Amino acid sequence: MQIKWLAVLCLLFSGAGWLQAQAEAPEIVIEMHGEPSPVRESVSIWDKNARQLTKLFRGKNRTYVLYHVENVSSKDTTLSAQDGTEYAFVQYGSNDTDYRKFLFKAEDPQTFVACAADIKDVLAVNKKYKVNLGVSLRDFLRQYEEKATLMNLADNAAGKVYQVYQLNYSDINHKTPSPHYFVFEEDALLQTYDSDDAYYQFVGQISNNNKQLTAQQQAQQQARQEKLQQARQEALRRQNQPVRKALVSGGTAYDQAYMPRAVNATPLPALTPSKLPAGTPLPTPQ
């Protein structure tokens, strides 16, 4: 019995010593150095128009915009302006529905240039920077169908028919309306001409190409007709050419002297003698 009590006392003293050692042990502290990473402020582009997005991203670069926009882009490419300037282009959505289009400088750090959220924005950016952000005919007509005049322009040399819409156009950067020509090919904007002179120069080039094609086609048709006429004349000449007959057998003394003779010709069969005596008149048919 005494042995059991001694064992219990030993356990109690050992437990108390372990607790005292833990209490005297130094506390381990993990220190965090540096500032915590800021939480990304994501932006939904569908909640903002072009003016708001321009104000938000002015002075930023393409990497910053793509990082903060929570939406997934549908196009990320490079565009060339009419003067050869290169731009980076990012689009969200499609040309026929809702979209947001961003234009950046092509060279690093690819600074933000402009943003478009509807057809008016797109045409204004196109005109200012001489680019083509992409315009569908359906989107264009939703805004300008009642104001624009349609003209069809056939490019026979290229095998194409262009739909041209003439519009007295103005935008936020150009307040005074002036004639503009929007050329569509297969329901997509191909080119924009901002004056009568520029457009009619384009029309003149197509007209010259069509004339050259017409002249070429006429020359080919004339050559075919001449070849067909020559074939007809040759066939007629052969048809009217006299045929020299060859003498097989018999003939007069003149024929035997001057007519060509057939070589290895089969002699004509002998005449079948008549059953009537010579000089008998033939019966007259009743």
DSSP of the chain, one letter per residue? -HHHHHHHHHHHHHHHHHHHHHHHSPPP-PPPPSPPPPPP--B-GGGS-HHHHHHHHTT-BHHHHHHHB-SPPSEEEEEE-TTS-EEEEEEEE-TTS-EEEEEEESSTT-BEEEEE-SHHHHHHHHHHHT-----BHHHHHHHHTTT-EEEEEEETTTTEEEEEEEEEE--SS--S-EEEEEEEETTEEEEEE-SHHHHHHHHHHHHHHHHHHHHHHHHHHHHHHHHHHHHHHHHHHHHHSPPPPPB-S---HHHHHHS-B-TTPPPPPPPPPPSSPTTPPPPPP-
pTM: 0.67
Quick one: pLDDT at residue 8? 47
Q: Where are the domains of the chain?
A: 41-133, 135-238
pLDDT score recorded for residue 235: 83
Task: Say how many CA atoms lie within 13 Å of 191 toward its Cβ.
Answer: 9
Provide CB contacts within 8 A for 148, sequence distance 6+. 140, 141, 165, 166, 167, 182
- Checking if the pLDDT of 236 tops 90, the result is no
Q: Is the pLDDT of residue 215 over 70?
A: yes
Instruction: Tell me the average pLDDT across 105-123.
Output: 96
The closest of 163, 156, 151, 164 to 206, measured between CA atoms, is 156
Report the C-alpha gap between 180 and 142 in whole angstroms: 17
Q: What local confidence, expressed as pLDDT, does residue 11 receive?
A: 53
Strands 112-116 and 149-155: unpaired
Please check the confidence at residue 155 and state whether its pLDDT lies above 70: yes
CB-neighbour burial class of residue 115 (10 A; exposed 0-12, middle 13-18, buried 19+) = buried
Question: What integer is the mean pLDDT of 190-201?
Answer: 95
Q: Mean per-residue pLDDT for 28-54?
A: 72
Read off the pLDDT band of 257 (50, 70, 90): low
Q: Please tell me which residue, 234 or 247, carries the higher pLDDT value.
A: 234
CA distance 194 to 126: 11
Phi, psi (deg, nearest 5) at residue 232: -65, -45
Question: pLDDT at residue 198 above 80?
Answer: yes
Query: Measured between alpha carbons, how far is 198 from 192 in angstroms, rounded to an integer?
Result: 9
User: What percent of the chain lies above the pLDDT cut of 90?
Assistant: 57
